[in-house]
Structure 1
Amino acid sequence: MSTDGLAAAQQKMQDAGVAQTAIDVFTHYYGQLEEGVTGSIPEGTIDPYLDPPRLEDVSIDPAHAKSVFDQLVVINLNGGLGTSMGMDRAKSLLPVRDGKSFLELIVEQVLAARRATGSRLPLIFMNSFRTREDTLEVLAKYPDLPVGDLPLDFLQNKEPKLRVDDLHPVTWDADPDLEWCPPGHGDIYTALQTSGLLQQLLDAGFKYASVSNSDNLGTVPSPVLASWFASTGAPYAAELCRRTPADRKGGHLAVRKADGRLILRDTAQTPAEEMDYFTDEHRHPFFHTNNLWWDLEQLQAILAERDGVMGLPLIRNEKTVDPADKASTPVFQIESAMGAAIEVFDGATAIVVGRDRFLPVKATSDLLLVRSDLYDLDERGALVQRVESVPTVSLDAGSYKLIGDFEARFPQGVPSLREARSVEVKGDWTFGADVSLIGDAVLGEEGGAVPEGARVGTAG
């Protein structure tokens, strides 16, 4: 192990006030990085996970569901900045529907669920050091949101980026904030413990948690799922969806041959020469949504047993210290995935849910879909799909990848997509009001303006 590099990183974290348990977790992964561990999971070491239970087969006792819902907390991952879309603050602040952001819609979903069930149902966000201030400013508009003495958020830990050449903490005088990164959403377990929030929730009588990403508007609080999870007695469960050809990049669960445990495998953990197996939606028919369910008492026991170090598989993420400057110093970011904890818990399980519980926005093409008339908001604050199938969308990266460019090209709002099967925008087009894209709509590389009221595409 590079004693100097590790010692420098540990000291940097101590000086920044990072909790000792988080430093211990970082030290664990640093040792793996030094040993050349990549986290690779070859196809020959796993079997496909083919027969999970399905939500459509679940029946519940309403009284049991009410009891469980009274013990449920909703936790939302809100550390992402949306840098891939050119954002520099919390992606959840992006307007989605009726001028409301992801953050506002998620809050309104929880408040609606409280009204419908009479449950306490706290909503708590895991923020990063870059998203906290803006997020709490928005949440202050909802005076009824806090529950008792519970906070509205807790803070994800931070760690130094490490130089690829010598594994020392990188220095970047142009912007010292860029010397730090979050440790991936697998840090949620450490952060819950070190913040004291896990114990606070247990002391307040909460036993279960529903966890999801803040860019996914599909995870409306569900008494049915809560009741199912509690009835299994499992410590941990993951929501899965059936894969389609459009889902080939999503991580999937598999059964590890060595010990029969369920594990999560992501793209970064698949050998390059075996990506054909990974992307085969027939071989691995379900993808992992990153919607999770935890038994908080059993989570606390696991953390105590492991001294706060969950030991999740390493994700070695190679980047540059300034993501916007590909000539800046190459660095490793040590990360782990929240969903990888499935292998830690004895008796962990999963359930296949409808696609309505997975509506993430990872790119502006996804944003076009959720802003369109393909969806309506219902009384639960949920996005309800109004067509039988959602069209595929491909937008020219040069003109639409960044959110500022995207917004400028839809000054009157996005077009109607209800009659579309597929949309491919190859050039730089600006859309007028009340445009409809129909059938297989293709706009060419020449670019231009789509006039008000136009119907573009082939309906045949």
Structure 2
Amino acid sequence: MATATLNATDAEKINKLKSDVASLSQISENEKSGFINLVARYLSGEAQHVDWSKIQTPTDEVVVPYDTLAPVSEDAAETKSLLDKLVVLKLNGGLGTTMGCTGPKSVIEVRNGLTFLDLIVIQIESLNKKYGCSVPLLLMNSFNTHDDTSKIIEKYANSNIEIHTFNQSQYPRLVVEDFRPLPSKGNTGKDAWYPPGHGDVFPSLKNSGKLDALLSKGKEYVFVANSDNLGAIVDLKILKHLINNKNEYCMEVTPKTLADVKGGTLISYEGKVQLLEIAQVADEHVNEFKSIEKFKIFNTNNLWINLQAINRLVQAESLKMEIIPNPKEVDGIKVLQLETAAGAAIRFFDHAIGINVPRSRFLPVKATSDLLLVQSDLYTLSDGFVTRNPARANPANPSIDLGPEFKKVSNFLSRFKSIPSIIELDSLKVTGDVWFGAGVTLKGKVTITAKSGAKLEIPDGKVIENKEINGPEDI
């Protein structure tokens, strides 16, 4: 993708921006130059659209089917030598605001009183204990989650796991009207800043000194995943495959369902594997992009990346991922934040591949409807691993649609005396002021609608199968 040069007006904007940014004492020199570079790339109008006619479906060499991966031997020494090369990095910059929480999303309780972070720590601890290895955990925080996370991880001080934290960059939001940084205009609160997306993991890993420290300890690969994806656990088969084949980058993809039609997909483009996001697709091709016939897979954001390769590309300033403009409003002022995504970096790495993994490796908790799934009897918990209950015959999870009364975690929890049994549920839609008793079982297609202004209680022990309930008389 060719970079257009800046016209005179834009060059002037950048010069003004440089002088504004130079006086911002809250951020480092690395952050200042990273921000200026991002804005300059944005203004230069780098091509965002791909030539639709050049898109090819990746072959099995490019997107490797998971079931063709060689098994890992039973030899504990071989497993230890694999794990000694690994680092686990969780993206921990997000707040749980959409679910009504104030702190980092990773401290929402998922199951049995354990948070996302507890489960991640237990998983890595059990690996370290079982194989006598030392897999460290890195948490990439944002300025929003740093303080809280630092306090929270103190409770793991006596565990057999090294936990390191570092912050992703802090960039000023841009005022759309005059392209000046919001903090330069008198807004000095947190709202004036933003973390520039998880594509920032690469420079931040380097700038924090963590990358050099890991390389000096002989670490070779980092497994990067969202902290809210309960399926993103260490997989030795994937790690072994990447080491044996010298793949610098691997993106885990999984088959699309109708719920995932907007997710980014992998394509072969001009001889390289590339991530195609919906934002890059021209309007006339959007329906084709969403088709699960043509684009059968989507990005889980579970990424495996060679640390030496990250070092090489960051130093060469080669990681020019597509820019995602994200318009916002702060105190009535229209602002713009420019972001990048880690998955888009795939095209810069050598021998980059996708691996088409089972759906079980993608279990994100984005809303309370997802929380209902993972807290139910659909899953079991052992050694920090959340595993699907084999008693469920249908390979797909039930579709759950909870009304706004259930949106916040605290409200969600108060409305269930206990989480219903949903092993045989196909779909659930709940609307209005509905409360669930203990030991309720839901099967087939269930719709529960409370009349406006009325409270509807589902009694303890009730079994509801293929029913539409609009009032107590239907129960």
TM-score (norm 1): 0.91
Render the CA deviation track for 1:48-84: whole Å, top value 9, x for unaligned: 3353212222123535443221111111110001222
Greater CA deviation, 54-63 or 181-190? 54-63
| TM-superposed deviation, 1:8 | 4.9
Q: Distance in 1 between matches of 2:273 and 2:23?
A: 36
Pairing of 1:30-429 with structure 2 (within 5 A): 30-36=39-45, 39-41=48-50, 43-49=52-58, 51=60, 52-62=63-73, 64-145=78-159, 152-171=164-183, 176-256=189-269, 259-306=270-317, 310-321=319-330, 328-379=332-383, 381-386=385-390, 387-388=392-393, 389=395, 390-396=397-403, 398-410=404-416, 412-429=417-434
Structure 2 distance, partners of 1:244, 1:424, is 19
Distance, in Å, in 2 between the alignment partners of 1:226 and 1:192 is: 20
Distance between the aligned counterparts of 2:196 and 2:146, measured in 1?
16
Comparing 330-339 with 110-119, greater Cα deviation is found at 110-119
Aligned partner of 2:5 in structure 1 is none
- Measured after TM superposition, the shift of residue 353 of structure 1 is 1.0
Shift of 1:182: 0.1
How far the C-alpha of 1:335 sits from its partner, in A, is 0.2
The verdict on how the C-alpha distance between 1:30 and 1:418 changes in structure 2, with shifts beyond 3 A counting, is same
User: Could you say which residue in structure 2 is the equivalent of 1:3?
Assistant: 14
Point out where structure 2 has 5 or more consecutive residues left out of the alignment.
1-9, 469-475
Moved more, 295-304 or 187-196: 295-304
Correspondence for 1:437 among 437, 442, 445: 442
Equivalent residues of 2:89, 2:137 under 8 A apart? yes
C-alpha deviation, 1:139, in angstroms = 1.7
CA distance in 1, matches of 2:305, 2:174: 32
Q: How many residues align?
A: 445
CA drift of 1:435 comes to 1.3
Whichever residue aligns with residue 325 of structure 2, its letter is R
1:122 and 1:146 in contact (8 A); partners too = no
Amino acid at match of 2:70: S
Cα gap change, 1:183 to 1:337, in 2 (>3 Å): same
Cα RMSD of the aligned pairs, angstroms, is 2.3
Shift of 1:42: 5.7
| Cα offsets for 1:160-198 (capped at 9, x unmatched) | 111122221125867711000001000000100100100
Aligned AA (2:114): K
Change (3 A) 1:50 1:435: farther
Counterparts in 2 of 1:212 and 1:315: CA distance versus 1, 3 Å: same
Task: Return the letter of the residue paired with 1:27.
Answer: I
Q: What is the Cα deviation at residue 303 of structure 1?
A: 1.7
Q: Do the aligned partners of 1:43 and 1:277 also contact (CA within 8 Å) in 2?
A: no
Secondary structure of the equivalent of 1:166? coil
Offset at residue 224 of structure 1 (A): 1.8
Query: Is the Cα contact below 8 Å between 1:427 and 1:445 reproduced in 2?
Result: yes
Distance of 1:444 and 1:42 partners within structure 2: 47
Query: What is the distance in 2 between the residues matched to 1:45 and 1:85?
Result: 41
- 8 Å contact kept, 2:447–2:467: no
> Which 10-residue stretch deviates more, 96-105 or 370-379?
370-379
Q: Is the 8 A contact 1:60 1:228 kept in 2?
A: no
Percent identity at matched positions? Answer: 34
Q: Distance in 2 between matches of 1:5 and 1:360?
A: 42
Q: Secondary structure at the match of 1:136?
A: helix
2: CA distance, partners of 1:122 / 1:167: 41
Shift of 1:207: 1.1
Aligned to 2:28: 18
Match of 2:459 in 1: 451
Q: Distance in 2 between matches of 1:82 and 1:45?
A: 40
Write out per-residue CA displacement over residues 398-454 of structure 1, whole angstroms, 9 at most, x where no aligned residue.
2222333323322x2321111201111132311111111111011125262222112
Q: RCO higher in 1 or 2 (8 Å CA, sep ≥ 6)? A: 1
**Larger Cα-atom Rg:** 2
Deviates more, 1:172-181 or 1:290-299: 172-181
Decide which of 22, 27, 35 is 2:36's aligned counterpart: 27
Paired letter, 1:161: R
Give the AA of the match of 1:417.
I
